[in-house]
Amino acid sequence: MTKSCYLSIFLALFSTFWLCVNSHFDYKDALTKSIIFLEAQRSGKLPPDHRPPWRGDSALDDGKEAGVDLVGGYYDAGDNVKYGFPMAFTVTTMAWAAYFYEHEIKDAGELNNLLAGIRWGTDYFLKASLQQNRLFVQLFQFAEEHQGTFDGACPFYCSHSGYNDELLWGASWLYIATKDPLYLQYVNEESTSAVVNEFSWDLKYAGAQVLLSQLYWEGQKELHMFQQQADGYICAVHPDSPYRQPFMTPGGLIHFRDGANSQYVTSTAFLFSVYSDLLARHNVQVICGEKTLTHTDLMCFAKQEMNYLLGHNPAHRSIMVGFGHNPPLHAHHRGASIPVTAKTEDVTCGMSFALWFNTDAPNPNELTGAILGGPDRADVFIDSRMNSSYTEPCTYINSLAIGVLAKLAHKAKHHEL
């Protein structure tokens, strides 16, 4: 047998080992810290109960030049910019966690904090959409001068998947919230959908399909196609499925692309967790060719993906700041990397790079709870501020972790793991 064959067998066995070994973490602590990170990403005038002690008020003049109040919202990642597209996804997935796992989040004592975080985002979006047929987005001048679709032309957060997934996603949520049959009619008669292997701020089909599957099993049989597509998503992702498409690292981590790959880890874990509960609730399974996947199979995979981020990985280290063994110290984050200074002291962009960003010193401010971009395809994680693909956090990584962490914390508390 050739060396390459031996290596392939070793990697396959190693991957299975990391995927299936049972390990437990303080999921309640991870849940709390995940929400604290989102608080650290708030823009605007911070409330008195704000938990990250080093974070101050910021961007208090947003909208002033246009004569409107656009103070508030969230910075998407490490560089103090508010992007409406990923912010909407962050807030919606926070709301989904509260909607589906309300009992578990309340049991962990974090429901009020999560609801406050959701309101922080929705209050901002209400401000940005107060004027009829006018939506303020970052930055306003760009939107005004380049009206129309931004596919292929936008500088950041370009929607490569188009807008049909957003229309299905929005109609699904609006129907759940209002029960207005017009939204259900759109879903059934006008929407576009497809089987995919990814759920993200850009590609939302799988999330909408899981949402609609819940309605299907609750009696709305006209939504059967979406439930079948949700099954297709599971079959396209689960490592034991004959139709699995995404790459799995030797250590058992799902990997789509370098640069905030952890977002796909938490999004996969969240959808698998929710779908697992739906399968258990309605006593059904997912059939992937000759392979049958149970609700236990789905939850096992979701748990192992979250465990990898929390420290059960080949490097034996946490990818969440301030949690677990050997957590990261150099998050790619402007606020965390600059020491707290006097209010009268000016800090310029040039100073921030020269004095703090381009150094090997740990961040002076702990970005508690931030799940960073994560390791590469070889399970290598480099804790360096300048390697943003490894160390930059994003709000939508953490928002998607909330529900599954709450479920794991609840099960651990009641000795169900």
Annotation marks residue 332 as catalytic: yes
Identity (one letter) of the amino acid at 214? Q
Active-site residue among 79, 144, 180, 258? 79
The active-site residue, picked from 26, 123, 202, 383, is 383
Residue 89 has pLDDT above 60, yes or no: yes
pLDDT tier for residue 145 given thresholds of 50, 70 and 90: low
More confident residue, 359 or 226: 226
pTM here?
0.91
pLDDT at 138: 56
Q: Which residues contact 109 (CB under 8 A, 6 or more apart)?
A: 32
Is 202 an active-site residue?
Answer: no
Q: Strand 291-293 vs strand 286-288: parallel, antiparallel, or unpaired? A: antiparallel
User: For residue range 242-257, what is the model confidence (pLDDT) as tens digits?
Assistant: 999 999 999 999 999 9
Question: Which residue, among 252, 188, 261, has the nearest Cα to 13 in the 3D structure?
Answer: 252
Q: What is the C-alpha separation between 95 and 280, in angstroms, rounded?
A: 22
Catalytic residue list contains 79: yes
**pLDDT beyond 70 at 55:** yes
Q: Which residue is catalytic, options 255, 332, 333, 410?
A: 332
Whether the predicted pLDDT of 20 surpasses 70: no
| Interval 390-402: pLDDT, tens | 999 999 999 999 9
- Burial class for 122, CB neighbours closer than 10 Å (0-12, 13-18, 19+): middle
DSSP readout, 46-90?
A: --TT---TT---B-TTTTGGGTS-----B--SSS----HHHHHHH
- Give me the pLDDT at residue 155, please: 64
Give the pLDDT score at 141. Answer: 47
How far apart are alpha carbons 37 and 297 in whole angstroms? 30
pLDDT the model gives residue 3? 45
Among 361, 363, 400, residue whose Cα is nearest residue 98 = 400
Identify whether 392 is a catalytic site residue.
yes
Per-residue pLDDT band at 149 (split at 50, 70, 90): low
pLDDT at position 71, please? 97
Contact 338, 346 (CB under 8 A): no
Question: Is residue 404 over pLDDT 80?
Answer: yes
Q: Is the pLDDT of residue 347 over 70?
A: yes
CA distances from residue 104 to 7, 199, 331 in whole angstroms, order as listed: 42, 23, 29
Q: Give the separation between CA 159 and CA 173, rounded to whole angstroms.
A: 20
For the chain, give the mean pLDDT: 90
Residue 93 has pLDDT above 70, yes or no: yes
